Amino acid sequence: MNVTPLSKTLLLTLLLAAGPALAAAPDIACRSNGSWDNACLRRLYQGAPGTWPKPQVDAGVTWQEMAPVPAVAPAASPRQAARVALGRALFFDPHLSAKGQVSCASCHQPEKSFTDGKPLAVGEDQLMGRRRTPPLFAAPFAAKLFWDGRVDSLEAQVLGPIANPVEMNHPIAAAVARVNGLEEHRSLIQAAFAAPALDEAQLAWALADFVRSLRPPATAFDRFLAGRRNALSDKELQGLHLFRTQARCMNCHNGPLLTDHGFHHIGLSYYGRRNQDLGRFEVTREKADLGAFRTPSLRGVAQAGPWMHNGVFPDLKGLLRMYGNAMGNPTAKAVAAGDPYAPPLSPLIRKLELNEADVEALAAFLQTL
């Protein structure tokens, strides 16, 4: 069967998602022979983030320290506040879709970190995309949007799902006409644009301004960042320390949003196989982008599953074990054979020495974000 390569990957995924790794825990600060000295760990993390142990990132990696997510700036004008209010109303309005079946919020559900709990996005008429609904907390801060970074402004981004036939399936001009015909948005439109009707650019502006106003709810990690040192349990603190060190997570997941807003191939391109998705390469056609997808924010990550751009991981611990195994490096053979389109795994992804307690601690830390 031609599906064998895929099935093999799935089998590997299942094995790695199920079986405990039995590697010995390597010594890192405050741990020896696999045992944590929690008092020692508390001391390391007693100050502000700038004083914490330096993260384990590779030479050449630009990273930012962990930090609180910047607050939304106060509205510069009543019009801006009104645009956000209009954008919010439109975000939750299924009239934006052709048949009125789905709103932006059908897929971007606030309580699921603005995702939908599904492996792949499902739009009007039950049509399905080939990627997962992306979480939105990084969107206000990202230079490039969508999993493949194909647009560089929120104004351009927000129109994509409206027009996309497998999402809201509504030509933008028709969506604008629909919105302008609805009594319920009239006063918001008047307040936002001092006019009785909006145009395409204004529809995009209002939705983009609403997305720009989205922030993750405050969590235990935020309280810890703010100086409440008992906001994380010992196990969660061990997870934070592993995240910064042994598990190498901060090579990509750093800064206030826990993302570098960059693109990396982490081994999920399914190159040459059914479900192949070459990610950012499909936009740029630059071989350096083969199989690369945007690093998602980890803010609210526990509520944002199933994970990865294609929702292939239903379990965060399975995902962590897979990272620990260098994601299986499924294209290694094709790369070695010189296939010019086989995506080389990002050199940031390496086999890690994580045992099952490490995976548990990392998963516990992820729950605090």
CB closer to a copy of itself out of 290 and 363: 290
d(CA 261, CA 291) in angstroms, rounded, equals: 16
104 labeled part of a ligand binding site: yes
In whole angstroms, how close is the CB of 62 to a copy of itself at the nearest point?
Answer: 29
Annotation-wise, does 95 bind a ligand? no
- In angstroms, what is the minimal distance from the CB of 4 to a copy of itself? 10
**Residue number with CB closer to a copy of itself (99 or 229):** 99
- Residue 265 labeled ligand binder: no
CB-wise, 129 or 239, nearer to a copy of itself?
129
- Minimum distance between the CB of residue 17 and a copy of itself, rounded to whole angstroms? 7
Q: Which is nearer to a copy of itself, 262 or 311 (CB)?
A: 311
Cα distances (Å, whole numbers) of residue 240 to 52, 232, 248, 360: 11, 9, 11, 12
Q: How far is the CB of 276 from a copy of itself (least distance, A)?
A: 4
Distance CA 172, CA 153 (A): 17
**Beta carbon nearer to a copy of itself, 18 or 201:** 18
Which amino acid is it at 208? Answer: A
User: Is 107 annotated as a binding-site member?
Assistant: yes
Nearer to a copy of itself, 158 or 312 (CB): 312
- Beta bridge mates, 294: 263
For a copy of itself, the binding residues (CB under 8 A) are: 1-3, 7, 10, 13-14, 17, 119-120, 125-128, 130, 165-166, 271-272, 274-276, 278, 281-282, 285, 306, 311-312, 314, 341
Convert the chain into a string of H (helix), E (strand) and C (coil): CCCHHHHHHHHHHHHHHHCCCCCCCCCECCEECCEECHHHHHHHCCCCHHHCCCCCCCCCCCCCCCCCCCCCCCCCCHHHHHHHHHHHHHHCCHHHCCCCCCCHHHHCEHHHCCECCCCCCECHHHCECCCCCCCCCCHHHCCCECCCCCECCHHHHHHHHHHCCCCCCCCHHHHHHHHHCCHHHHHHHHHHHCCCCCCHHHHHHHHHHHHHCCCCCCCHHHHHHCCCCCCCCHHHHHHHHHHHCCCCHHHCCCCCCCCCCCEECCCCCCCCCCCCCCECHHHHCCHHHCCEEECCCCCCHHHCCCECCCCCECCHHHHHHHHHEHHHCCCHHHHHCCCCCCCCCCCCCCECCCCHHHHHHHHHHHHCC
Minimum distance from residue 266 beta carbon to a copy of itself (Å): 18
108 has binding-site annotation: yes
The CB-of-267 to a copy of itself minimum distance in angstroms stands at 17
Is there a binding annotation on residue 30?
no
Nearer to a copy of itself, 13 or 246 (CB): 13
Write phi, then psi, for 122 (nearest 5 degrees). -120, 125
> In the complex, what is the shortest distance from the CB of residue 126 to a copy of itself, in angstroms, rounded to a whole number?
4
Q: Which residue, 2 or 77, has its beta carbon nearer to a copy of itself?
A: 2
- Write down the least CB distance from residue 174 to a copy of itself, Å: 15
Binding site membership for heme c: which residues? 104, 107-108, 249, 252-253
